[in-house]
Amino acid sequence: MNNPSTENFAISRAALRASRFGAMLSRYPRALGWVRRLMLPLAIQDENSFNKHFRFFILLAGCAMSDPKDLKALGILSRDLNAYMENVMDEASDKPMVWSEWNLSNEILRAFDVRQYVPETFAIVSQMAGSDAAVEMIERAEEEGMAPEHCSAAKTAVGALLANEAPKPDVIISSSHPCDSVASSYQTLQYMTKVPMFVLDTPYWDDDKSFKHYENNLWDLIAFLEKHLDQKLDWDKLREICANVNQTNHYLQELSEMSRAVPSPTSVEPLLLSWLGRMAAFGSPNGMEFAELVHANARERLRKKRSFIEKEKIRMIWYDVPLVFAPLFPWLEKKFGAVVVSDFMGRIQTVPIDTSSPETMVRDLAKTHLYCTMVRHTRGPAEFYLEEFKKIIDEYSGDCFIFMGHQGCKGGWALRKMFRDVCREAGLPSLFVSSDIFDKRHVTEEEVKRQFEDFFRSNGLA
Amino acid sequence: MISAGIDVGTRFVKACIVKDGEVMGWAGQDVSRDIDRVIAGVYKKALEQAGIKKRQVKKLVSTGYGAKLVKKTSFTMSSDRCAAKGAFALDPTIRTVLDCGGLFLTVTAIDEKGVFERALSNDKCAAGSGKFLEMSAQAIEIPFSSISQYAELSREPYVISSNCAVFAESEVITQVNHGRNNTDIIAGVLHSIAGRAATLFERIQAQDNVALGGGLAAVPAFADRFEQMTERKTVSLPMPPQNFGAFGAALMAQQGDPFKEGSRRK
């Protein structure tokens, strides 16, 4: 099935080199700040053959982050990201390889002695080799018979397997959320890899019965992993991980709340990066240190009433910040003084985990999983999204709402009118952009920028 | 504050000078090869009509197909938003604006506060545009200003079957050679364009009231056919319909700092 003519992990290795370079520079945050400053004019231009190989680096260099202290925090996070990528590519390792869907929180998996790979993250990693790389993966998946209507992240995951960019799995863990597209893509991945797969059944509602159902799922998952990995779960390790998760969540949740201040001492970017780092760093000491540091920096800015970006003019509330359009953020900041104060992807809303016994840990892990980004929104009725959205509008003093819809996300598009009506009721100007988070063919960055300019100006925001 | 809006369309360039929301002067001219000179000339005429000097204009905003050709513009803005802004400023009951220009038909929906909601446009093909009507009128030797009179005399409007303006022009010439009456041909062309406009209009689920903008709106026979097809009455506004875009652009330039008053911030 794999193409023998393709070098294994060619794109991943290029991404790792860029990430290592970023991590090395972040040891000298001021130097990284200068590199960012010098590269920014080239990076925020539309992609061309010259800038395509380093343009996405701007994401690793913290998007619009400019405070050297934040850049230092980023370096701490990138240590774990690098370790994750090295582990994925370590073909000599005798540790079992577990694939885990990106909406799952992997504390339990981390308490086993395994390597892990999150297939959808390749859609982000591949952007380091230019946006063409993701498109190539998507096309490979489509050529093999995946429907064009599938989510591009799911197609990239399949494409990566075909292009020898994914490690060989021993076990796969998937779930019934966030959408049919992702759930069905895991059936394809299992069909292609022929390894055992465990599917978590995500409940619809937020009640005790639903939490109990998911808790039982987690016990079944532990039994499944112990059987197929021939290992026992290390409960002491899980306790340590859960304690770190509690601390990390505390910092990130406070960080989400700090954006309510005007001017905002932070933006969703550290939150998004922590979300990106979740697959590698959530519950790790580095992940916790990153959260602690960005929290302390934001707190310091809040005390001094300093804004996250140089001059805050427009406060944006986003539906779903597209990571692949990362160079859009420095552009928005530079041209309009626009900062993202809240979005559904980065926002942390969760509960602490009681680490006193295995039973309490699994019970609370079930809740934290169901409160994770995307999971808490997409598994139930539209009201889960809308009630949170109304709260954000009420609390975050946003000047506008941006909905950059993702083509594969049918559930998201179904909400469009409801979001629009909530905005109209609140008198909040809204922009709806039809895009694809990972597939640049759908809409060009130039067109997206044009729409932003028109929107800000016609609503008197710029 | 005095501001200016320049709408560089595919057939005409229009300029409008506005002071505190009121029109001071406007001008328009055909597009020709030396577009820079045309833009400068139109702007100069509008300034003369307003009785002011260029230096008194605080902000200039350009719009339309050739918006980027305007030098020293503060910013450019899409024509659908500008036409909607202009029409709403003239009549706040307007919810839908159909802009029928030289090359594009665009229908724009706005809410009760005048906020842009969405727009739809005829992509790529000029068959549903003013240029197509102009080409057809030339082919059958009818002056553009007399199109409505000729169309009114038609007994059996010809049904244009081609979707492409180039093929449709050939079809018109073929019909002339077959001896078809030119009143029936021009009525058929108007019917075809109004049909395309009505399709866009239905797709956007247009709300009342409706304003017609652009050069085609000045052709009464087109407006009549459009009203018949959609079973809606259009509202006539106190400004030549070609000027909504330039007027809207000038109004966009007048928008102040939104955070000085009425801010949502707490």
pLDDT digits over A130-146, tens only?
A: 778 889 999 999 999 99
According to DSSP, the residues that pair with B106 across neighbouring strands are: B99, B121
Q: Is the pLDDT of residue B38 over 90?
A: yes
| Cα distance between residue B257 and residue A122, in whole Å | 43
Strand A171-175 relative to strand A314-318: parallel, antiparallel, unpaired? unpaired
| Cα distance between residue B98 and residue A264, in whole Å | 41
For residue B256, name the pLDDT band (cuts at 50, 70, 90): low
Q: Is the Cα torsion angle A122, A123, A124, A125 positive or negative in sign?
A: positive
What are φ and ψ of residue A262, in 5° steps?
-115, 120
Q: Using CB atoms, which residue from A398, A428, A458 is nearest to B252?
A: A458
Tokens 């040891």: give the residue. A27
| Paired tokens of B121 | 């446009």
For residue B259, name the pLDDT band (cuts at 50, 70, 90): very low
| Cα distance between residue A153 and residue A437, in whole Å | 8
| Cα distance between residue A145 and residue A159, in whole Å | 11
| Cα distance between residue A164 and residue A10, in whole Å | 8
Distance to chain B for A457, nearest Cα, Å: 7
| Cα distance between residue A123 and residue A439, in whole Å | 9
- In angstroms, what CA-CA distances link A352 with A271, A355, B27? 18, 9, 67
| Cα distance between residue A39 and residue A58, in whole Å | 8
| Cα distance between residue A198 and residue A179, in whole Å | 17
The verdict on a CB contact (< 8 Å) between A453 and B75 is yes
| Cα distance between residue A33 and residue A341, in whole Å | 22
Residues of B whose CB is below 8 A from A336: none
pLDDT at A59: 60
The verdict on a CB contact (< 8 Å) between A427 and B256 is no
The verdict on a CB contact (< 8 Å) between A427 and B252 is no
- In angstroms, what CA-CA distances link B191 with A45, B175, B188, B224, B226? 45, 16, 5, 10, 8
Query: What average pLDDT score do residues B136-142 get?
Result: 87
* Most confident segment among A21-30, A99-108, B41-50, B114-123: B41-50
Contact pairs from chain A to chain B, CB under 8 Å = 40
Strand stretches in chain B, DSSP E:
2-8, 12-19, 22-30, 59-63, 75-77, 96-100, 105-110, 116-121, 210-213, 234-235
**B255 in contact with A at a CB cutoff of 8 Å?**
yes
What are φ and ψ of residue A315, in 5° steps?
-105, 115
Q: How many residues does chain A have?
A: 462
Q: Is the pLDDT of residue B127 over 90?
A: no
Q: Using CB atoms, which residue from A262, A424, A457 is nearest to B111?
A: A424
Domain identity same for B157 and B258? no
Domain identity same for B224 and B265? no
Of B214, B215, B217, the closest CA to residue B225 belongs to B217
What ipTM goes with this model?
0.76
Q: Is the pLDDT of residue B258 over 50?
A: no
Q: What's the total number of domains in chain B?
A: 2
Distance to chain B for A303, nearest Cα, Å: 18
3-state helix, strand, coil in chain B (%, to 5): 45, 20, 35
Domains and CATH numbers, chain A: 236-459 (3.40.50.11900)
Strand B96-100 relative to strand B105-110: parallel, antiparallel, unpaired? antiparallel
**B75 in contact with A at a CB cutoff of 8 Å?**
yes
Distance of CA B25 to the CA centre of its chain: 18
Residues ≥6 apart with Cβ < 8 Å to B265: A262, A315, A397, A399, B259
Domain identity same for B195 and B263? no
Three-state SS for A282-342 is: CCCHHHHHHHHHHHHHHHHHHHCCCCCCCCCCEEEEECCCCHHHCCHHHHHHHHHCEEEEE
Instruction: Report pLDDT digits (tens) over B64-113.
Output: 999 999 998 999 999 999 999 999 999 999 999 999 988 889 999 998 88
DSSP assignment letter at B206: -
**Helix pair angle (A328-336, A29-43), 10° resolution:** 90
Domain identity same for B118 and B228? yes
Terminal CA-CA length for chain A: 53
For residue B265, name the pLDDT band (cuts at 50, 70, 90): low
pLDDT at A264: 93
Q: Using CB atoms, which residue from A397, A429, A453 is nearest to B115?
A: A429
DSSP assignment letter at B99: E
Of B208, B203, B242, the closest CA to residue B93 belongs to B208
CA angle A437, A328, B120 (to 5 degrees): 65
Spatial contact of B202 and B166, defined as CB atoms under 8 Å apart: no
* Most confident segment among A269-283, A314-328, B143-157, B161-175: B143-157
Q: What is the pLDDT along chain A (462 residues), one digit of tens a residue?
A: 444 445 788 888 888 888 888 788 888 888 877 877 777 777 777 777 777 766 666 666 656 667 888 888 888 888 888 899 999 999 899 999 999 998 888 899 999 999 999 999 888 888 877 778 889 999 999 999 999 989 999 999 999 999 999 999 999 999 998 888 889 999 999 999 999 999 999 999 989 999 999 999 999 999 999 999 999 999 999 999 999 999 999 999 999 999 999 999 998 778 777 777 777 777 899 999 999 999 999 999 999 999 988 889 999 999 987 767 777 888 898 889 999 999 988 888 888 999 999 999 999 999 999 998 888 888 889 999 999 999 999 999 999 999 998 988 888 889 999 999 999 899 899 999 999 988 888 888 888 999 999 999 888 888
| Paired tokens of A191 | 């069909």
Neighbours of A232 (CB within 10 A): 12
Q: List helix spans (H) across A111-234.
A: 122-125, 131-143, 152-162, 180-193, 208-229
Mutation target for B interface from A457, A459, A461: give the one with most B CBs within 10 A.
A457
The verdict on a CB contact (< 8 Å) between B78 and A454 is yes
Q: Using CB atoms, which residue from B77, B258, B266 is nearest to A454?
A: B77
Of A84, A114, A121, A105, the closest CA to residue A200 belongs to A105
Spatial contact of A65 and A35, defined as CB atoms under 8 Å apart: no
| Cα distance between residue B142 and residue B155, in whole Å | 17
Neighbours of A1 (CB within 10 A): 9
Spatial contact of A128 and A57, defined as CB atoms under 8 Å apart: yes
Domain identity same for B81 and B122? no
pLDDT at B62: 96
Q: Is the pLDDT of residue B187 over 70?
A: yes
pLDDT at B261: 37
Domain identity same for B114 and B225? yes
Domain identity same for B186 and B104? yes
Nearest CA in chain B to A263: B265
Cis upstream peptide for B209 (omega within 30°): yes
pLDDT at A179: 87
Of A161, A42, A186, A43, the closest CA to residue A102 belongs to A186
Domain identity same for B46 and B166? no
pLDDT at A382: 92
The verdict on a CB contact (< 8 Å) between A460 and B116 is no
Domain identity same for B201 and B105? yes
Q: Please report, for the domain that includes residue B134, its CATH number.
A: 3.30.420.40
The verdict on a CB contact (< 8 Å) between B75 and A461 is no
Phi-psi region of A423 (alpha: psi -120 to 50; beta: other; left: phi over 0): alpha
Domain identity same for B167 and B220? yes
- Which burial class, exposed, middle or buried, applies to A413 when counting CB atoms under 10 A from its CB (0-12, 13-18, 19+)? middle
Nearest CA in chain B to A447: B78
Domain identity same for B256 and B189? no
| Paired tokens of A223 | 């039994």
The verdict on a CB contact (< 8 Å) between B255 and A460 is yes
| Cα distance between residue A350 and residue A394, in whole Å | 20
| Paired tokens of B53 | 């000097």
| Residue ranges making up the domain that contains B111 | 92-236
pLDDT at A60: 60
Domain identity same for B12 and B39? yes
